[in-house]
């Protein structure tokens, strides 16, 4: 386990409020590919706009639903990695809030209770007409049943409330606005934070990419965990070239003070 940078450890120990911004790199070590990486096999010949946009949905909802049903299966088969677990453990003893660009539920399954999903959730579903929520358990069951025989086109279920609309994923597609209140909640959290930790995100996707800039403007300590240089690197006070599953457990292990010298950190 690599030692955490001393400046980051000092900032984390002093912080009254911590915000952790996570991107695709956070989940990649759980086996969930990036958005473009999911276009493999059956899906490689399709343009992203055909699979994740209002126009794609209007043109062929069966194709879009088939793709998302397959992606739901990928998410459910994945498990939270050590980075997810460490964040949840950190939040048990410190005010740590997670703001994620990821649409999976790995943070929640690891135990994080305070998570803002900027781009919605692949495990949330709603009617495309009336907006009524739809039972995610039914979709997960359908994804499990189809896992051995994924299909290009699957008819989406009908809304049980209005009966006229069909059910769509609760994610943000190209050309759509962020979920109501999500970005405002993220900005408010960053403005109150003493430490903002940016993990596994390229810094290219807006408006999420603005959050580290907001953090700098309000005087928060900004640290980046990413194995590669990103658009955020130049803004950060501390850059740690490591992966989420390695760095976050190392940081939390350093911050955690065991009751006796030989007591291990639970979960590591």
* 179: its two tokens: 């979920």
Q: How far apart (Å, rounded) are the C-alpha atoms in residues 245 and 240?
A: 13
Maximum alpha-carbon separation in the chain? 63
CA neighbours closer than 13 Å in the CB half-sphere of residue 129: 10
Residue 237 annotated to the active site: no
Q: How far apart (Å, rounded) are the C-alpha atoms in residues 68 and 52?
A: 9
Give me the catalytic one of 84, 107, 117, 119: 119
Point out the residues that are catalytic: 119
């Amino acid at each position: 386990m690599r030692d955490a940078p001393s400046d980051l450890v000092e900032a984390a120990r002093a912080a009254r409020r911590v915000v952790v911004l996570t991107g695709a790199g956070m989940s990649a070590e759980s086996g969930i590919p990036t958005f473009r990486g999911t276009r493999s096999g059956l899906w490689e010949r399709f343009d992203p706009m055909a699979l994740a946009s209002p126009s794609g949905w209007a043109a062929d909802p069966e194709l879009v639903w088939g793709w998302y049903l397959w992606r739901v299966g990928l998410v459910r088969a994945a498990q939270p990695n050590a980075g997810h677990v460490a964040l949840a453990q950190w939040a048990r003893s410190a005010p740590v809030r997670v703001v994620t660009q990821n649409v999976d539920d790995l943070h929640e399954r690891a135990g994080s209770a305070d998570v803002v999903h900027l781009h919605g959730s692949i495990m949330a579903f709603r009617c495309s007409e009336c907006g009524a929520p739809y039972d995610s358990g039914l979709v997960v069951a359908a994804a499990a049943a189809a896992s051995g025989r994924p299909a290009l086109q699957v008819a989406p279920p009908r809304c049980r409330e209005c009966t006229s609309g069909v059910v769509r994923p609760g994610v943000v597609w190209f050309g759509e606005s962020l979920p109501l209140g999500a970005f405002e909640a993220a900005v408010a959290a960053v403005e109150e934070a003493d430490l903002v930790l940016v993990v596994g995100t390229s810094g290219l996707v807006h408006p999420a990419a603005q959050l580290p800039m907001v953090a700098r403007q309000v005087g928060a300590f900004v640290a980046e965990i990413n194995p590669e240089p990103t658009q955020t690197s130049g803004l950060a006070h501390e850059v740690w070239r490591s992966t989420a599953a390695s760095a976050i457990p190392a940081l939390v292990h350093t911050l955690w003070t065991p009751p006796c010298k030989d007591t291990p950190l639970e979960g590591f």
